[in-house]
Structure formats: structure tokens, C-alpha cells
Amino acid sequence: MAASVRCFLRSGKNAVSALGQRGFHKSAPVAVQMMVRDALNQAMDEELERDERVFLLGEEVAQYDGAYKVSRGLWKKYGDKRIIDTPITEMGFAGIAVGAAFAGLRPICEFMTFNFSMQAIDQVINSAAKTYYMSAGQQSVPIVFRGPNGASAGVAAQHSQCFAAWYAHCPGLKVVSPWSAEDAKGLLKSAIRDDNPVVFLENELMYGVPFEMSEESQSKDFTIPIGKAKVERQGTHVTLVTHSRYVSYCLDAAVVLAKEGIECEVINLRTIRPMDVESIETSVMKTNHLVTVEGGWPQFGVGAEICARIMEGPAFNYLDSPATRVTGVDIPMPYAKLLEDN
């Protein structure tokens, strides 16, 4: 499909990660700092070591260390049997992953970017997500489909879109969207250990961003439960619900607004499906205001779902004003930098 653009994506990588490093979180270097990329790498490394059934497949994941270097060093350590470079056919290697999971392995299937997963979406939805149900629980499909998702920088319409809403629409799939290095490590380890198929949406612009890692998160046993959101900042005036890279935006906004006397509560969703509505409700019942923030398109998006769930639940009567959605503009992403940034 987009072979030529893929090369471009790769060559643009350094520029892009440098961009990401302008960083929203440059706290004092007291504890260990880790980039999201390395956290993902460490999570896979630990899980590959822990369970012989786990293996990684995808384009360029082996000798080349992954198009975005997330699998760096893994091929050298685990070899051909566990780290597999595949021919270029998304539907093919997604199907391979499904079949391998049927037969008892636990594949991690890397899409070079989630944009290319559209070629494989039948395997992801019709085979991976539904087989456990259709086989009446006889056949589990423990797979992690992972890769960068959402708008990157300067890669235009066909490489700049968020698939959170697409996959979160489908029962049978779990959809996870980490923000920080801790999120990335803990959630990816949970995803790999989960017996359900998990779509794991990373963000390319976050790969190069360093975060502090708590002592706990450096352990090989560290996992973060799927299905639970995290309050990243406490506040009393308005609830900002968000995921992935936009957690950074919300935390920045919260700092600015705090100077104006508005205290934001920032909720990092972490999991899009199953969604932790309870945490959002609890927060909304405290702040009485709700704003959702995401990079995806508005119609039928993650924010749309949150608004609907709040309307249906106990928190609705606590709202002092209508909920607001902040989303990507409802157009295909333009290439021109000025247009993209605005």
C-alpha cells in the first residue's frame, strides 16, 4: 500500500522523535528516566523472557530493530524463532498471528503503523475479536496488535488518524492507549499476559519522550490493570478526560488554567475498551464539568461515547453545563505544516 511513504516515515523518524522531545514533562532527573520507546522494548523483552510462547512478528521487527526501533536488540537476544520479519502483507501476518494464537502461542503483532492495520482489519475483527465467542469459549485468541497510532508529524492524511474509536467499537477486543513510559510498560505487559486479543495503540510522537519511572515500575512484575483509568492530576472545577499524547496537552492546560484559579482534574483513560466509566462519573460528580480531549475525529469518537455514557448514568444530573468535546478537526489530515499544526 504505502511502501514508499513508509520509507519516508522512517527517514523522518529522527526529526519526529526530536520534536517529541520538546517534552511536556521535564521534571528534575531524580529517579530513573525512561523513554516510552524503551519502556515498550523492556516490556516485550521481559515478557519474551518470561513466557516461551510469546513471540513478535511484523515488518522490519528483526534485524532492522523495528521501523521505529521499538524492538531494538530483541532479534539479537531471541533469534529467528521468536522475532520474525514478515513479507509485506498486513492481512497475511495478522492472519498468521491469529492462527498461531489458535495453536497455543501468544503473538505480539506489530503494525508498522496502525494506518496499515486497515488492510488487516478483517482478521482483527472477524477472526481475532470474535472467535472466542463464536467457538463458545473453546478457542481463545491471546494476541497483542501493537504499533503507533494517531497523528504523527508531516505524514498527511493516510498516516495521521486515530483508530481508538474504530477498534473500541467492537466487542471481543480490548483497546489500550498508553501515555507515559510507566503506562507503556505496565499496560503492554498486561496486554501480553491477557488471554483476550488486545489492540495496543502507541503514539509515535511519544516514543522519544522521557518519563520518570517509579521504583515499582522498574520491576519485572510490574503491570497496570487493563480497564482502569488513572487520575493524573486532582482538581475540583472541571474534569478533563483524555488518552495517549493528549494527556500531556491536558496537564499543560491544567497548569495554565490553575494560574487563573481553575483546578482541572485530568483523567488518563489508559484503556478505551472496556472503558472505566466509573472513574469518569466519580470525577464529574465532584467537578460538575466535563471536557473530553482526543486526537481522533469527533463523529462516533471516544469523546462521543463518554458523553453518551455520562448521559445514561448517575453523573448526568451533576453536570452544571453541557459536556464539551475537543477532537481532531473533522477532515483528513492535510500535509502542509501550517495547516497540520492548526
Partner 1 sequence: MAAVRSMNKMYGVCFRRMAGLKASRLLQHRAFRVGAVHRQEPFDSTLEKPQFPGASAEFVDHLEFIQPNVISGIPVYRVMDRQGNIINPSQDPQLSKEQVLNFYQKMTLLNTMDRILYESQRQGRISFYMTNYGEEGTHIGSAAALDPSDIVFGQYREAGVLMYRGFPLDMFMAQCYANADDLGKGRQMPVHYGSKDLNFVTISSPLATQIPQAAGAAYAVKRENMNRAVICYFGEGAASEGDAHAGFNFSATLECPLIFFCRNNGYAISTPTNEQYRGDGIAARGPGYGMLSIRVDGNDVFAVYNATKEARRRAVAENQPFLIEAMTYRIGHHSTSDDSSAYRSVDEVNYWDKQDHPISRLRHYMTARNWWSEDDERSWRKQSRKTVMEAFERAEKRLKPNPELMFTDVYQEMTPNLNKQRESMWRHMKQYKEHYPFDQYVK
The catalytic residues are 90, 159
CB of residue 307 to partner 1, shortest distance in Å = 16
In whole angstroms, what is the distance from residue 304 CA to residue 64 CA? 40
In whole angstroms, what is the distance from residue 316 CA to residue 132 CA? 35
- Yes or no: say if 84 and 61 are a contact pair by the CB < 8 Å rule: yes
Nearest to 57 by CA among 105, 9, 3: 105
Nearer of residues 109 and 254 to partner 1, judged by Cβ:
109
- Yes or no: say if 141 and 104 are a contact pair by the CB < 8 Å rule: no
Whether the upstream peptide bond of residue 107 has omega within 30° of 0, thus cis, is no
Footprint of partner 1 (CB under 8 A): 3-4, 6-7, 60, 63-64, 75-76, 79-81, 84-89, 91-105, 107, 122-123, 126-127, 131-140, 171-172, 174, 194-196, 227, 274-275, 277-278
CB of residue 100 to partner 1, shortest distance in Å = 4
Nearer of residues 110 and 194 to partner 1, judged by Cβ:
194
Nearer of residues 170 and 251 to partner 1, judged by Cβ:
170
Nearer of residues 126 and 218 to partner 1, judged by Cβ:
126
CB of residue 250 to partner 1, shortest distance in Å = 25
> Which phi and psi (to 5°) does residue 149 adopt?
-130, 160
In whole angstroms, what is the distance from residue 207 CA to residue 316 CA? 37
In whole angstroms, what is the distance from residue 294 CA to residue 277 CA? 16
Nearer of residues 79 and 332 to partner 1, judged by Cβ:
79
CB of residue 52 to partner 1, shortest distance in Å = 9
Pairing of β 54-58 and β 230-233: unpaired
Q: Identity (one letter) of the amino acid at 325?
A: R
CB of residue 75 to partner 1, shortest distance in Å = 7
SS3 for 57? strand
Pairing of β 210-213 and β 32-35: antiparallel
